[in-house]
């Protein structure tokens, strides 16, 4: 029997998280499943109603001192689990309902069939507005062109213990989870996934957040990007020299883009990842069978 850990980062959205955990409990058959909530320095307290679960083995909360966003919360959770807990697979999962718990069975079945190193959830249907879907398509095309990788998955994945070790050997996961995964692994198993709707409240993924998400993924592949962008800058420079100075505008845009990549690359830092335990304030065991 395989042992799974589900990592759920949360910032204040406690009502959604505990509804998600209720739904996770319904999807478990013969698997051993522990839930690790990474509390990303929430300013709101949660209510522990001492609820009982029929299948979930245990629930722990890692309370962080400073808020660092979902990607750093997940990286901290992975690091903690690797160093302190026993498991066969880890499943990072958003806590708002947009990662559908019904699809956990697909992960469980894939593991039973072939025990792959990595399984990703490929979005085949999304629930956002037409504009956001359009911009998300642009994001995938952009990252594919600039990095040479088609990254059509997010945090919702299933990682073997060996895969977690490989991911944590690089600081890239501190910068972008999906970018690090695409860089480290050349292939992986997949399941089809439908983007769910939030249990409570509006989506927290804004257009600005999507742009930063795209840039962070690109930054993971900065060596490739530098070569490609510098070539483009030189081409526009030649066009400006021989034809029109207007070609200097996209050339300048290329330099600005490289500057942003250099700034974001500061978060690709293995030392920060290895010291993530310094941001753990306390641990709470709120349920155990």
Per-residue pLDDT at 124: 80
pLDDT in tens, 148-185: 788 888 899 999 999 999 999 999 999 999 999 999 99
Per-residue pLDDT at 92: 97
Residue partners of 82: CB distance under 8 A and separation at least 6: 161, 164, 165, 168
For residue 33, pLDDT over 70 is answered with: yes
pLDDT in tens, 78-92: 999 999 999 999 999
Residue 118 CA to residue 105 CA, distance in Å, equals 15
Per-residue pLDDT at 205: 67
For residue 42, pLDDT over 80 is answered with: yes
Sheet of 280-288, strands arranged across: 189-194, 118-125, 157-160, 89-92, 3-10, 32-39, 58-64, 280-288
For residue 196, pLDDT over 80 is answered with: yes
For residue 203, pLDDT over 90 is answered with: no
Per-residue pLDDT at 74: 97
Which pair of structure tokens corresponds to residue 222?
Answer: 């900065």
Which pair of structure tokens corresponds to residue 15?
Answer: 């009502």
Residue 64 CA to residue 60 CA, distance in Å, equals 13
pLDDT in tens, 214-246: 889 989 999 988 999 999 999 999 999 889 889
* Domains of the chain as residue ranges with CATH: 3-132+152-203+270-288 (3.90.550.10)
Q: What φ, ψ does residue 240 adopt, rounded to 5°? A: -65, -40
Residue 78 CA to residue 166 CA, distance in Å, equals 11
């Amino acid at each position: 029997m395989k042992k799974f850990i589900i990592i759920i980062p949360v910032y204040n959205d406690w009502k959604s998280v505990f509804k998600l955990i209720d739904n996770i409990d319904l999807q478990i058959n013969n698997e051993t499943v522990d839930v690790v909530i990474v509390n990303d320095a929430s300013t709101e307290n949660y209510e522990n109603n001492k609820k009982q679960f029929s299948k979930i083995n245990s629930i722990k909360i890692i309370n962080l001192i400073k808020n660092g966003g979902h990607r750093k919360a997940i990286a901290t959770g992975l690091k903690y689990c690797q160093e302190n807990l026993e498991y066969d697979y880890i499943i990072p999962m958003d806590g708002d309902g947009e990662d559908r718990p019904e699809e956990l069975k697909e992960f469980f079945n894939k593991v039973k069939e072939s025990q792959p190193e990595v399984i990703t959830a490929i979005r085949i249907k999304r629930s956002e507005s037409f504009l956001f879907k359009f911009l998300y398509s642009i994001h995938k095309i952009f990252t594919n062109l600039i990095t040479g990788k088609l990254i059509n998955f997010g945090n919702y994945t299933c990682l073997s213990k060996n895969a977690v070790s490989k991911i944590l050997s690089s600081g890239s996961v501190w910068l972008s989870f999906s970018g690090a995964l695409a860089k480290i692994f050349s292939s992986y198993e997949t399941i089809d996934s439908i983007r769910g709707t939030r249990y409570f409240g509006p989506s927290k993924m804004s257009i600005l957040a999507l742009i930063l998400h795209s840039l962070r993924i690109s930054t993971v592949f900065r060596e490739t990007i530098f070569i490609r962008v510098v070539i483009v800058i030189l081409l526009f420079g030649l066009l400006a020299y021989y034809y029109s100075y207007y070609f200097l505008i996209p050339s300048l845009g290329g330099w600005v883009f490289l500057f942003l990549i250099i700034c974001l690359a500061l978060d690709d830092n293995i030392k920060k990842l290895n010291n993530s335990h310094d941001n753990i304030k306390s641990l709470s065991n709120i349920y155990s069978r």
